[in-house]
Structure 1
Amino acid sequence: MPSTFPAALEAGIRKIIYAQEEVLLENGAAPPVPALEATAAAVIANPWLGTGPEADLSDEAARIAPHIAQLLTDRLLAGLGGADRIEAFGKAAIVGTAGEIEHAGALIHTPYFGNLVREFLEGTSIICFADDRALAGQPLVVPLWHKTHAATRSHYQTATARAPDAPMPHEIVVIAAASTGPRPHARIGDRSTDRPVTSTILAGASA
């Protein structure tokens, strides 16, 4: 793995925060498939601070986002045991109050981030996302779903990320999240095997 420091400097990263949890009991019982869930967050200086709504965001996104994608997925891969163990993923960003909500989107809604996160975690699905503008310390709930089978409802879950001192008004927090398995005790079926349900069908069933 290449050294973190040069890539972090190139991306203007102030800090990286990694958090991981494992649910041992849910509703009094151990999950049949124990799963690890983790978030990796990079706190960066907002490269577009002070620019107007007409500013082109693409050049800085192309320069910065690949470094962030590499650094965050490196943390997830190391913490969760490699791409073979990761089953679900998601992404998010929080922009500080001096920034524009589009500044958050410019880093995560781009192939320079999303495509690379998908590649490094060996997924094929579109990546679920969340973005927001907030004060430092604001938590953000990041949605996840299966990295190769988006219709697999058992893997619809969330991870909460929080940087206690970020984003400061001039910063952005970029987050990648992943899980090694489904929700505890997942049992609500699967979209690919659901019977057809429409208002007309339901009206007929109750007539």
Structure 2
Amino acid sequence: MKLRKTVTLVDEIHTEGGETVSPAARTAVVAAVIDNPWAGQGFVRDLSAGIDETAPRLGALLAPLVVKALGRPVEAYGKAAVVGLDGEVEHGSGLIHTLKFGDHFREAASATTLLPALEKVAPAGTVFDIPLKHITDATVRSHHQSVEVRIPDAPRAGEIVIALAAAGQGRPQARLAPLATEQ
């Protein structure tokens, strides 16, 4: 895995809807910008070797960094892969849709649910939204949220941005009724 850089973003909301949020709602994102392991090879039918080599290392790198950046217990989480224009969406999907990647974050967050994900092919500087859901119950509506990310110089054509996002709470001032009230 050739790592160009990591980017850490932390967002704290102190007021929402004119009301104080206490404690502040905190969300963290850590992204790795790596060379696409399949760049320049044409169509690669079997991605497993690149997945086996790269995905576990990315998970082991990013999971502790995003938990540390959040600085409190993780209640909601998500992941993303943005592939540069010389790659395929399957390159990013292959790296993040494997237990070899996701289990690092599930373990670090004491989570049991699947990680919601975004994956796409896009040029450098593209804005992407990472979806978040509750770490143990994906039906908890207060934790359905997203975090917007933009890395101005990534992904370059032969790169992939892999990101993890964590929130220490649900949406600020969440007040939707539980899903069970509609069933």
Which band: TM-score by shorter chain? over 0.9
Instruction: Spell out, residue by residue over 1:57-77, the C-alpha distance to the aligned partner (whole angstroms, 9 max, x if none).
Output: 111111111111121112112
Whether 1:128 aligns to 2:116 is yes
Q: Which residue of 1 aligns with 2:8?
A: 18
CA distance in 2, matches of 1:126, 1:176: 13
CA distance in 1, matches of 2:66, 2:89: 26
Shift of 1:30: 1.2
Shift of 1:137: 0.7
Q: What SS class does the counterpart of residue 15 from structure 2 fall into?
A: coil
Instruction: Spell out, residue by residue over 1:169-201, the C-alpha distance to the aligned partner (whole angstroms, 9 max, x if none).
Output: 00000010000001011011122x2233xxxxx
Shift of 1:55: 2.0
Query: In the alignment, which of 74, 89, 93 is matched to residue 81 of structure 2?
Result: 93
Q: Can you give the 5+ residue segments of structure 2 that lack an aligned partner in the other structure?
A: none
- 1:150-169 correspondence to structure 2 within 5 Å: 150-169=138-157
Q: Which residue of 2 aligns with 1:77?
A: 67
**Are the aligned partners of 1:32 and 1:184 in contact in 2 as well (CA < 8 Å)?**
no
The two structures have a TM-score, normalised by structure 1, of: 0.84
Kindly report structure 1 stretches of 4+ aligned residues shifted beyond 4 Å: none
Instruction: Spell out, residue by residue over 1:22-60, the C-alpha distance to the aligned partner (whole angstroms, 9 max, x if none).
Output: 101111111255321011000000011133445211111
Q: Which residue of 1 aligns with 2:136?
A: 148
Q: Which residue of 1 aligns with 2:159?
A: 171
**Mean alpha-carbon deviation: is it higher for 137-146 or for 46-55?**
46-55
**Are the aligned partners of 2:126 and 2:151 in contact in 1 as well (CA < 8 Å)?**
yes
**Are the aligned partners of 1:33 and 1:182 in contact in 2 as well (CA < 8 Å)?**
no
Q: Can you give the 5+ residue segments of structure 1 that lack an aligned partner in the other structure?
A: 1-10, 197-207
Whether 1:50 aligns to 2:40 is yes
Whether 1:103 aligns to 2:81 is no
Q: What SS class does the counterpart of residue 34 from structure 1 fall into?
A: strand
**Are the aligned partners of 2:35 and 2:158 in contact in 1 as well (CA < 8 Å)?**
yes
Q: Which residue of 2 aligns with 1:195?
A: 182
**Are the aligned partners of 1:32 and 1:185 in contact in 2 as well (CA < 8 Å)?**
no
CA distance in 1, matches of 2:46, 2:132: 29
The alignment's C-alpha RMSD in Å is: 1.3
Q: What SS class does the counterpart of residue 94 from structure 1 fall into?
A: strand
Q: Which residue of 2 aligns with 1:65?
A: 55
Paired amino acid for 1:183: R
Q: Quick one: structure 1 residues 80 and 54, their matched pair in 2 at CA, closer, same or farther if it must change by over 3 Å? A: closer
